[in-house]
A and B are shown apart, each in its own frame.
Chain A
């Protein structure tokens, strides 16, 4: 989230698209309802009439996977009706930037598409630079090659009739949504946009997210109280696990994981340190060398010195993407010997579960660390297989629960909150911290004793977390924050600061490139300082009245509660909305008041020191036109890989960068219905944490599928009947839930029915049922490879035991 949960109360309009907070983030609705009590409009766009929709002032239905058509239509509506926040767009986004002459878009394809490799040459989309090397700008926004004009042209194709023919939305509903939300384009109004997997789980998921961000920038809604692009994250610490780089392409703090051709630290820094010649651009990623060096110092301690490139060689380098579905694919080919799952359940949590379950059987060894027996830990005795045929050695390790250990987790609003240990772990279960520590210490001992292949990354790793039975979690938290490795004097403007070797670094602006600081995750620098553990704070004061709660827990970066907040003020530092000032420049005291600003510099207009608000981009301006998306600078509508409809906007049916796996097809004769998966209040993810809890099992005991009354009538299915749902990948049995919440869509004159289902069920636990992911496909987003769980083709028939 750019903003945070409580901030929802500050909104004038709340657009829920691709998420269902009343169902999946129920307590957030407290703040949505607070906003509604104060007059805010709630707008819900979803294929289903959800619990969130039931509370909405305006509801519009759309077909799964057509979000870009819908959002593109809203962008067009805002531009055509002149509802944008013009000063914001001109000053703070790249609307005024000029694009080079080669750029072109024609009939669904951007320029420079390589049909063989299925890639674009991203350089062909570059800005046009002036003699000084800065992008050219036309502040009148009239230049035909300005981003603004190109944007206007691109989305002029997304008129209401075309949009509704694609999405199946009633035109009056679409127009009501567009009018209600685009009304927040005024400086004194705030609109927030909430999304989750309905936006991301798509072959154009990243472009879906971009479309939300572009709409919000056009309306001047990013960086302000009550605004933002807010991803409602689904797991208690999925924000933290992402922050700490548990992804093949990411190191802690969103530093890039090195690739094969970043041959040394110098090459790495060169590649990932963006440059700008514009003095007004803060270009915060320009600090990459300080952060990567501090990370390597945290990992390799005194062994990491300038002479050995701070042990950069010890990091693995990736070549082709090791994303989740690719790992499962390699596992299926027998190319992976061992897998460790820390609270993850690939036997049903990923797409195409039949394939994933078979792949697990190709492993030599498998370690599962969980509170429960899971579908993964007992995959070798799942229904339909003979354990004798599976030669995988399985270690099922019992893990402690969240109330049996101490540490922090980060919520969706980036608040890192400390949890305490209330009791000892049950039975012989152990905290994950203890388990990881044991893995490391035993491996290190083996490599020290027996040597082996390239032992140094393990034998030289710094691992100093006390001598106790369990690693001292406070020492880990302090290493994450970082400390000085020698006595330092730092001059910061008019202050001279003295630090001793071993002192905690107070904030990331003091991190260094020469090895004199460590920081295990630079964005958390400031979370554990000499003033103590900031994440454990419980001071519920709210000086601004905006609900920032600056002394409750701690949030990254630097306890800034709303990021990009320099965009909430005019170029001379006055709040756009004086009723809800987030930050304001005090010209007398020469400092900002309110939230922690996005950098200490004076307002943008200040000739000497002013900075643009979008500090993480080299050009300092929010990107209405992207330079680094693999599949285009503007989001363009393509159909989901499995779709009953032809693309009405261009001749290019699907995202041209996505390769289609063999078990994906749009055979509508065989599979005429649209399938979609989702979550619910009473269960959670793969069900480990809920399907073994009697209270929750009593509430929702069975796997079910939701269908409309019309589909039920057509198929002769009654509520409670057993049904079989099939796709190209597999078949499941479920209980039919016939409901008026699901309605067929009118897609270009033809009715299209949907089948909706939760993905929480499996063959382990107290309440068992077939897994929805037996049906889904592994085809993924062009940029991230997140699978397209939200839109696939299926069929349904009456009858139990898979008919």
Chain B
């Protein structure tokens, strides 16, 4: 059955409207059977590179990303993307992405595959040992020679966060302080 240009555009507009209203994942094209996004789901995202905050639409099929493109509804980029933003698909679909937890023993010349449970348990132990060993409850200040409570873990540092979501940054900040880690720094200092 043929399809007029008008039908095609109407279908596309409806499909876009489905995403536009909520941004949540939904059927991309219930009314546009001949669009190239046939059978795909789509949801919106924001570019992970620079801080312009361009919008993109992610198309998926059977739980796999099949296409990512600029979101024409987004008021900042209106569908445009730079070369990095246009390449987001290759972040989602890339053989070089890490798929497993890897561990390198002291002095070893290779990584070994480990389970999450094994690695997280060992990391927690390392963190606790370091915290217990290097925690400084009080210190004498050199300027006035008085003793102050500082409650700091001197032997541990946390770096990073500019690539994390806000909610992740918040928990990272909260966790760091609960650990007594004052040596918390990230890309904003550089």
Contacts and interface: CB of A to CB of B under 8 A. Distances in A.
Given A364-B130, A371-B91, A403-B45, A387 B109 contact: yes
A238 B185 CA distance: 12
A480 B98 contact: no
11 contacts: A235-B187, A323-B189, A336-B157, A338-B157, A395-B103, A412-B51, A420-B45, A422-B60, A454-B180, A682-B84, A696-B84
Given A388-B109, A389-B107, 10 more contacts: A240-B169, A248-B184, A322-B182, A335-B155, A393-B106, A402-B91, A408-B165, A411-B51, A454-B137, A766-B96
A420 B179 CA distance: 30
Interface in A394-438: 394-399, 401-405, 407-413, 415-424, 426-433, 436-438
B100 A681 contact: no
Given A261-B141, A538-B73, A433 B168 contact: yes
Contacts of A689: 48-49, 84, 91, 163
Contact of A694 (B47, B90, B100, B161): B90
Contact of B180 (A424, A457, A699): A457
A104 interface: no
Interface in A648-700: 681-685, 689-690, 692-696, 699
Contact of A337 (B155, B169, B170): B155
A401 B132 contact: no
A426 B163 contact: no
B76 A344 contact: no
B58 to A, nearest CB: 4
B90 A693 contact: yes
Interface in B142-190: 148-190
A399 B121 CA distance: 17
Interface string A756-778: 00000000011000000000000
Interface in A357-387: 364-365, 367, 369-373, 380-381, 387
B167 A322 contact: no
A319 B51 CA distance: 33
Contacts of A685: 187
B164 A432 contact: yes
Interface of B: 20-25, 41, 43-55, 58, 60, 63-65, 68, 73, 75-78, 80-88, 90-92, 94, 96-109, 111, 116, 119-128, 130-135, 137, 139, 141, 148-190
Given A427-B100, A457-B180, A246 B127 contact: no
Contact of B46 (A261, A392, A409): A409
Contact of B101 (A319, A395, A521, A789): A395
A434 to B, nearest CB: 9
A349 interface: yes
Contacts of B94: 692-693
Contact of B52 (A25, A380, A696): A25
A564 B148 CA distance: 39
Interface string A338-357: 11111110100111000000
Q: Chain B interface secondary structure, helix, strand, loop or mixed?
A: mixed
Interface stretch (A73-81, A91-99, A173-181, A779-787): A779-787
Contacts of A785: 189
B189 to A, nearest CB: 4
A119 B133 CA distance: 35
Chain A CB within 10 A, most for which of B25, B92, B190: B190
Interface in A629-656: none
A6 B132 CA distance: 50
Contact of B126 (A338, A520, A789): A338
Contacts of A402: 45-46, 48, 88, 91, 165
A446 B124 contact: yes
In the complex, the 7 A-B pairs of residues with the closest C-beta atoms, listed nearest first: A427-B99, A411-B53, A407-B165, A344-B160, A398-B98, A342-B160, A442-B124
A433 B173 CA distance: 12
A6 B81 CA distance: 15
Given A339-B157, A443-B179, A477-B167, A367 B150 contact: no
Nearest to A693: B90
Contacts of B41: 422
Contact of A480 (B80, B170, B185): B170
Contacts of A324: 159, 185, 189-190
A420 B55 CA distance: 12
Given A338-B130, A422-B60, A540 B165 contact: no
Interface stretch (A309-317, A580-588, A727-735): A309-317
A20 to B, nearest CB: 11
Contacts of B153: 316
A246 B161 contact: yes
A660 B19 CA distance: 55
Nearest to B176: A246
Contacts of B128: 443, 446-447, 450, 452
